[in-house]
Chain A
Amino acid sequence: MKKTYKIEVDCAACAAKMEEAAKKTAGVKDATVAFMPQKMKVEFEEGADVESVMADVLKNCKKVESDCEIFLS
């Protein structure tokens, strides 16, 4: 399953870091962050619990880029 989220991130390098962090999160099959439209597209593993996975994604992204935000709803 794929979902797209709106994000807020200040620089393109930070967006790349977020992408990296999101990809490494358990339950995420693939993730892409596009800086220009400020969007993150996440492809989840089969049977993953989207909400808890996204909470982890947000936590991991905050780790690498404390200023970033993902709008989960």
Chain B
Amino acid sequence: MTKKQKKVLIRIILSAVLTAVFCLLPVENLYLRFALFLIPYLIIGYDILRKAVLGIFNGQVFDENFLMALATVGAIILGEYLEGTAVMLFYQIGELFQSYAVGKSRRNISSLMDIRPDYANVEQDGQLEQVDPDDVEIGTVIVVQPGEKIPIDGVIVSGSSMLNTSALTGESLPREVCEKDEVISGCVNLSGLLRIETTKEFGESTVSKILDLVENSSMKKSKSENFITRFAKYYTPAVCIGALALALLPPLVNLILGNSADWSQWVIRALTTLVISCPCALVISVPLSFFGGIGGASSKGVLVKGSNYLEALSETKYVVCDKTGTLTKGVFEVTHVEAAPGISKEELLEMAAYVESYSNHPISRSLKEAYGKSTGRQVEPSRVTDVEEISGHGVSAVIDGKKVSAGNVKLMKRMNITYAVPQKIGTEVHVAVDGTYAGYILISDLMKPNAKEAVARLKAAGVKQVIMLTGDARNVAEAVAREIGVDVVKSELLPADKVAEVERLLEAKEDKERLAFVGDGINDAPVLSRADLGIAMGALGSDAAIEAADIVLMDDDPVKIATAIHISRKTLRIVHQNIVFALVVKFACLGLGAVGFVNMWWAIFADVGVMVLAVLNATRTLKS
């Protein structure tokens, strides 16, 4: 409990005891009774009264403080001293409970996301010294002992160990690391002592980025939140005016009709409706639910950058996936080399590896690897000049004075070279030397083991269509699509085609349906930002992907997409439950209060009870 809460608790106890004692005192004198009850009333309600008065001066007339002040002062004027004090007392108990419950769930969620390292060990004169991670400069060697968190991103200079990445990825299997490996902050070192040379400042490190992102996620508000805030803005004054009308109109009508006015009865009813109408439950439960949902998701390795994205995710009907790195591992292997007559397989592989040597594309890497494996030699970059990349087609370069081109079928067609058609399925790299066909190399990408399950789960989660986009050749794409079970596949797309394809899909879908694009964050930033919802996966350590996406899957498990959708649905379900529940109870009580069926005690339940139930319901979002 905070200091503030303790103070309120003491006031509640004091006031409750005094009220109980004064109830038992046989005081007949009205003025004395009034004076006595004024003491506990003021103890418990002075701050509310103060705020109500301040509010009137500052143009904030119709807020809940005003409601409570009006209700209780009204009750006291009518001689209902006990009720006036009790209402204030219960209101404060409710507020205390609310702030306690909210504070507790706030802390729970925050601790779930608390991956902030407290210190970094820097070696000085053979002694380890703990310093603030903020003060560590790039290039400093820090020491991470077993059991400690890696505070800053860096490269291991010595030592090997197992890392627990679960705080970042939700993945419980530890990762093995050794010398020269890049490590990211937020992981926990499990076994060996590691010396790490930092490559980033603390503020730029993964852990800071993630914390920043999650903490700022509440800033991006969802439609439900905005709806509730707008609603409360009109609702509270409307209820106040309604209550005023209820207090004045019926008695006046009665007077005009010549009946007795019954002032006190109508004023009490009006006050009851005022108590019922506090908008707290609504206003608090919605952001709390989203906060819980985002916290729950982040503990599963799914970072959601805003409540609005969580909301959009729950409405997702179309999931567009990139193939490479999303559904497949993005680890390519040369599976077949078919050289044209007059050229040996080794020569072909060498040409291909050299011409692709400047590219970091997975396909190029696989060529270089295969070349290294089969010949035991490394690519010498000095032999390659005039590298030219032809987007969506391939590369050409001059190697040892010969012009070598390597790429897909489109490149061969463009160069008017007749090429062989492979019998097997795989990504084809056709090679031509000085305009003559030299053969092709087949490269295959390994499918992720749970890609099929991922698609099935998406379908089960109510996604209408799973669409796969790829720059790969048609036969490869279709083989993969069949295997995994996606509905639509579009192949041989240039990066710009992918944007166009997504735009076409956005056009075709209905307004309320959302389209999510899932990619690995490499080369697909434009599509990520164009889709309703950009999901980047395997983004751990990739700043560009974290930047471009709305939702970030920390590891590269495609099943997490469906997990994220489930969490979002659950959160939204709870949000809607809370809104409907609170509104129904409030309006029911309001109606009954206006006609006199609900007394002050029910009114307090409608206010405090509903709020507490809504908060408890909201905390369910954490568990999934």
Contact = CB atoms under 8 A, between A and B. Distances in A.
Interface of A: 4, 10-13, 16-17, 32, 34-39, 41, 63-64, 66-67
A12 B284 contact: yes
A59 to B, nearest CB: 11
A32 B307 CA distance: 13
Interface stretch (B216-224, B478-486, B491-499, B538-546): B216-224
A39 B110 CA distance: 13
Contact of B54 (A13, A16, A66): A66
Contacts of B291: 36-37
A21 to B, nearest CB: 9
A11 B215 contact: no
B279 A13 contact: yes
Nearest to A32: B219
B99 A10 contact: yes
B51 interface: yes
Main secondary structure of the interface of A (DSSP, over half): mixed
A69 to B, nearest CB: 11
Contact of B51 (A12, A41, A66): A66
A25 to B, nearest CB: 14
A37 B215 contact: yes
A64 B99 contact: no
B60 A36 contact: no
Size band of the interface chain B makes with A: 20 to 34
B142 interface: no
Contact of A36 (B51, B54, B218, B229): B218
B283 A16 contact: yes
Nearest to B292: A36
Given A11-B284, A13-B232, A36-B288, A64 B219 contact: no
A10 B65 CA distance: 13
B258 to A, nearest CB: 43
A39 B215 contact: yes
A63 B286 CA distance: 25
B365 interface: no
A68 to B, nearest CB: 11
Contact of A32 (B110, B221, B288): B221
Nearest to B50: A66
Among A12, A17, A39, A66, the most chain B Cβ lie within 10 Å of the Cβ of: A12
A35 B287 contact: yes
A63 B291 CA distance: 28
B287 A34 contact: yes
Contacts of A35: 218, 284, 287
Contacts of B110: 37
Given A13-B64, A13-B283, A34-B218, A63 B232 contact: no
Contacts of B218: 34-37, 39
Instruction: Enumerate the 3 nearest inter-chain pairs by beta-carbon distance, A residue then B residue, closest first.
Output: A34-B218, A36-B291, A63-B58
Contacts of B221: 32
9 contacts: A11-B283, A12-B280, A12-B284, A16-B229, A16-B232, A36-B106, A36-B287, A63-B58, A67-B47
Contacts of A41: 216, 219
Nearest to B4: A10
Interface string B206-236: 0000000001101101000000010011000
Among A13, A17, A36, A38, the most chain B Cβ lie within 10 Å of the Cβ of: A36
B165 interface: no
A11 B58 contact: no
Contacts of B47: 67
A35 B288 CA distance: 9
B98 interface: yes
B283 A12 contact: yes
Given A12-B287, A16-B233, 14 more contacts: A10-B95, A11-B99, A12-B288, A13-B64, A16-B283, A17-B63, A34-B216, A34-B287, A35-B287, A36-B218, A36-B287, A36-B290, A37-B215, A41-B219
Contact of A64 (B58, B98, B109, B287): B58
A34 to B, nearest CB: 4
A32 B217 CA distance: 11
Contacts of B290: 36
Contacts of A10: 95, 99
A44 to B, nearest CB: 16
Contacts of B50: 66
A41 B58 CA distance: 24
B215 to A, nearest CB: 5
Contacts of B51: 66-67
A4 B217 CA distance: 13
A13 B287 contact: no
B389 to A, nearest CB: 37
B60 A64 contact: yes
B18 to A, nearest CB: 24
A12 B307 CA distance: 15
A4 to B, nearest CB: 8
Contacts of B286: 12
A4 B95 CA distance: 27
Given A11-B98, A67-B51, A34 B60 contact: no
A15 to B, nearest CB: 8
B346 to A, nearest CB: 58
